[in-house]
A and B are shown apart, each in its own frame.
Chain A
Amino acid sequence: MYSEVFSTTIFGLDALVVSVEIDSGDGLPFFEMSGYLAAQVREAKERVRVSIKNSGYELRPQRILVNISPADVKKAGTGFDLPIAVGILAANGYINNDKLKDIVIVGELSLDGSVNAVSGVLSSVIAAKEKGYSICIVPVDNLHEAKLIRGISTYGVKNLKELLSFLNNGIFPDRINNVVGEHHSIFAAFDDTYLDFKDIQGQMVAKRATLVAAAGMHNLLYVGAPGSGKTMFAKRISGILPELTYEEALQITKIYSIAGCLSKNSFIKKRPFRSPHHSITKTAFLGGGAFPKPGEITLASSGVLFLDELTEFPACILESLRQPLEDKAIRLVRLSREYVYPSDFMLVAAINPCRCGYYPDRKRCNCSERDIARFLGRISQPIWDRFDMNVHFETIDFKDLSEEEMISKKNIYTTKHMRGIVERVHAIQQRRFKECSIYFNSQMEVSDIKKYCILGTKEKQLLEKAYNKLNLTARGYNKILKVARTIADIADSSEIQTSHISEAISYRNHLGVM
């Protein structure tokens, strides 16, 4: 007997619907699988056989041939267990073949017949919907994820027996989640609280700089002594970026689902904050493997990538950041195919000003000029150039820590207030770059700068004077203009004024011993 079941395989960030064909016939007992399968898929053979047996179905000795087509796409993952089992049972007459025509099934089997969660369910459901299937069966642990997609019925199954009773009789255990729910109500239920900037006292300059950076999506470098709050700041940045739309959140969840970073029944509604340790490998950072999995830069997409102790990162990892930062996507080329993953994040990094971390406080720091130059020299010039803005953290006095008035006074630097400003400035930029391929001030090229950063005579004079007196470079000059544009946007000013330029100049790179 022959049967056909539909399933999916993950292909980059998307899934592809594949058909699992099973033929069983008489002859010496035999089980063979074909269709360009990875090792995990081949291992399904024994799992499927035992779980069918343990679910209480009897199979007579027979020749079973499984083929997953199209045969020129490499299939990986454990989601094929369930469709294969269903196919074998259908070929043995336990299920009516006609019932399987409109269903896509994914799921991994345990030896006792229960169904385990798999990764990439979101992409699978999207693919099933796009191909016009009306039902998608997923492991019960992935049901929340699957429910995010509208326009297709999704069911979560616990074990093989449950699935068979559904396929044969249309009966499904009354499980709340199996009812097609209001998607937005599910969306709203997820946690979207961020850490708040109002928890931080003092550091007004750093707060202002952070606001400017987030408003124009400028890459930001924090410099400061250990314990001055750099990491605290970085963790709060994703909170002041605009709220995610449903589509954006779905895209992020999809990436996390494929990377296997999604915990049970969760949904990414917050902007990601990724802070990889500096011992990370290049593959984990950029994404990779024979079937490339998304790396940290892709997981940070739409959010913040924070590199703490930037000087400790190996040079090769930092250098590899240059192209993804420029293109906002990473291309992972494999022999079979090219995979393009998004890498559209805001880069925030933190460094100490010297090895001990306390320069220029000579009471605590005894680093020589050479030590400092060597310490900062670990980061190459091209990487320095990626940071539009630098901000120096002050060591906090006890007075600051104990000062209560900071909070009671009308503190404008709360996450809510800052997010309001950032959202407004993002909207201004969207209008400005409507006809361009860029979205933010930080992405402006020289030609865009000429077009959008028009200066009056007074402003030109100031910049000229600063250029000569402060030894700026041509690149530094352009960075100042880009940041000044953002500052002007925050002030709701269509022209860039001298005060905006002055502020932008104060964020330039000015490190080391002068």
Chain B
Amino acid sequence: MQRRDVPTRRKFLRLAGSTAAIGAFPMLISVREVEATPEMMTTAIRALTGGATVQTGKVKLDIPPLVENGNSVPMTVTVTSPMTSTDYVKSIHVFNEKNPQPNLGNFYLKPSAGRAQVATRVRLADSQKIVAIAKLSDGSLWSVTAEVVVTLAACTEEVI
């Protein structure tokens, strides 16, 4: 009796198992991609500061503490600075913990700005911590942190 081409139950299960394993891998990877971690924020901040000390103060972050819709969250960053040609804010960087990417925005200012304040609207994928860091002309770094609770998350929902 020839047994070579008989599809046994064991063969079938083995084949089904390997196919399922292959299918599972891309899913795992994509899940990992859309979940940033606080470590990613720490790494992004370190890339900006180069390990220099970041002091708390001077920066004010206006963002609603309770957000109903994470798809558009108004955000204003203000830095206390005289904005003269010798003492001004060079740049403002905003980071988040749990979006797929740690950056919310980078803003580059000139002394001619007069007032170190920028406003924009951002997306937030989860309730999380937002950090704004200002780089001054003398090289010092100042930061502020805000906690935001998001009811409806942005970014990762399905397209219909």
* A and B physically associate: no
